[in-house]
């Protein structure tokens, strides 16, 4: 291509794009480059901040790991300390049990609240629970008298109690395990009702020769409420058998009488279980029934 041709082409391009347009284009590109560099700088700063945060979190993680390790060491120390205390406590308990056993064999009486009966090993493996004049409960070897006379004379011991009184002291689970007959179990529960004046709904306070009494119909209804799935007819049979068991387990301190009763225009005989006023019960003090206002409602035919 000749010089004349090149010169002509340049002159043609120059004619299409002015120097001013090129300058504007260059400035635009320069501004764009400045903006991109600013964005890059901002991102670099953000990346630096993220690196700083990451380093801070790494430091915090290391501190937490050190704290966890320290806590783990403290837990191990606490477990070891607890094990040592448990062993020491067990050793102390064993020494106390041994000392109490030897004291029992010497004839002393110890307060029941301070004795774990199941842990004491004595000759015959049997302790007797007694109540003294001070109203407190003690343990002793059966029949042993306390030479120091603490608590006064023995008011009564477990061995003195009637079978029905002993059974009534058991909770329901234990009672079910020690009785072979349902009437015996019910008899103990019924006697427990008499002991608990706050729910004296089953028994009634008598008058004259009768201290307290219980009617077969009331007992049958009580059994239906307490025992699931018991029919009316079977509850009446259970009430009869329970009364028989109560007489037997009380060694005939309780007795049965027949009385006339009217209901729905019909007259019939009903069995009443009675505790007479002159009957002595182990552990109970006879007293005059003078506080009529504090007693449960009585039936006018209590002594019939």
HSE-up of residue 284 (Cα within 13 Å, Cβ side): 16
Q: What is the pLDDT of residue 120?
A: 86
Task: Give one word for 231, left, alpha or beta, with left for phi > 0 and alpha for psi -120 to 50.
Answer: beta
Q: What is the pLDDT of residue 251?
A: 92
Q: What is the pLDDT of residue 108?
A: 86
Q: Is the pTM of this model over 0.85?
A: no
Q: What is the pLDDT of residue 260?
A: 84
Identify whether the C-beta of residue 243 lies closer than 8 Å to the C-beta of residue 219.
yes
For the chain, the DSSP string reads: --HHHHHHHHHHHHHHS-HHHHHHHHHHHHHHHHHHHHHHHHHHHHHHHHHHHHHHHHHHHHHHHHHHHHHHHHHHHHHHHHHHHHHHHHHHHHHHHHHHHHHHHTT--EEGGG--GGG---GGG--EEEEETTS-EEEESTTPPPTT-TTSSEEEEGGGS-HHHHHHTS-HHHHHHH-SSHHHHHHHHHHHHHH-GGGTTSSEE--TTEEEEEEHHHHHHHHHHHSTT--HHHHHHHHHHHHHHHHHHTTTSEEEEEEEEEETTEEEEEEEEEEETT---TT--------GGGSPPPPTTTT-
**C-alpha closest to that of 175 among 27, 166, 302:** 166
- The residues with which 251 forms a beta bridge, in sequence order, are none
The three-state DSSP-derived secondary structure of 148-206 is CCCCCCEEEEHHHCCHHHHHHCCCHHHHHHHCCCHHHHHHHHHHHHHHCHHHCCCCEEC
Each residue's pLDDT, cut to its tens digit, for the chain (304 residues) gives 555 554 555 555 455 568 888 888 888 999 899 899 989 989 998 998 899 889 899 999 999 999 999 999 999 999 998 988 988 888 898 889 888 888 888 888 888 888 887 788 887 667 778 888 787 888 888 777 777 777 777 766 666 788 998 888 788 888 888 888 999 999 999 998 876 545 557 898 888 899 889 999 999 999 999 888 889 999 999 999 999 999 999 999 999 999 887 776 777 789 999 999 888 887 665 544 444 344 443 343 333 3
Instruction: Say how far apart CA 48 and CA 54 lie, in whole Å.
Output: 10
Q: What is the pLDDT of residue 2?
A: 52
């Amino acid at each position: 291509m000749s010089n004349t041709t090149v010169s002509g082409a340049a002159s043609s391009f120059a004619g299409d794009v002015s120097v001013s347009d090129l300058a504007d284009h260059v400035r635009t590109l320069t501004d764009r480059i400045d903006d991109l560099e600013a964005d890059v700088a901002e991102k670099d700063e953000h990346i630096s901040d993220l690196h700083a945060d990451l380093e801070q979190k790494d430091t915090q993680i290391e501190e937490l790991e050190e704290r966890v390790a320290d806590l783990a060491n403290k837990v191990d120390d606490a477990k070891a300390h607890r094990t040592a205390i448990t062993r020491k406590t067990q050793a102390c308990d064993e020494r106390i049990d041994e000392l109490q056993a030897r004291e029992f064999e010497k004839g002393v009486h110890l307060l029941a609240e301070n004795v774990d009966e199941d842990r004491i090993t004595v000759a015959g493996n049997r302790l007797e629970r007694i109540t003294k004049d001070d109203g407190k409960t003690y343990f002793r070897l059966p029949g042993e008298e306390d030479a120091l006379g603490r608590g006064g004379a023995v008011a009564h011991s477990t061995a003195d109690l009637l079978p029905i009184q002993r059974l009534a002291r058991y909770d329901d689970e234990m009672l079910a395990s020690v009785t072979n007959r349902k009437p015996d179990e019910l008899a103990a529960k019924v006697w427990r009702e008499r002991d608990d004046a706050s729910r004296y709904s089953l028994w009634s306070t008598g008058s004259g020769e009768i201290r307290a009494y219980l009617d077969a119909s009331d007992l049958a209804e009580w059994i239906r409420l307490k025992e699931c799935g018991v029919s009316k007819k079977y509850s009446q049979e259970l009430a009869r058998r329970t009364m028989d068991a109560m007489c037997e387990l009380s060694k005939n301190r309780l007795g049965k009488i027949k009385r006339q009763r009217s209901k729905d225009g019909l007259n019939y005989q009903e069995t009443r279980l009675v505790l007479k006023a002159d009957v002595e019960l182990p552990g109970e003090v006879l007293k005059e029934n003078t506080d009529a206002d504090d007693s449960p409602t009585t039936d006018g035919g209590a002594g019939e």
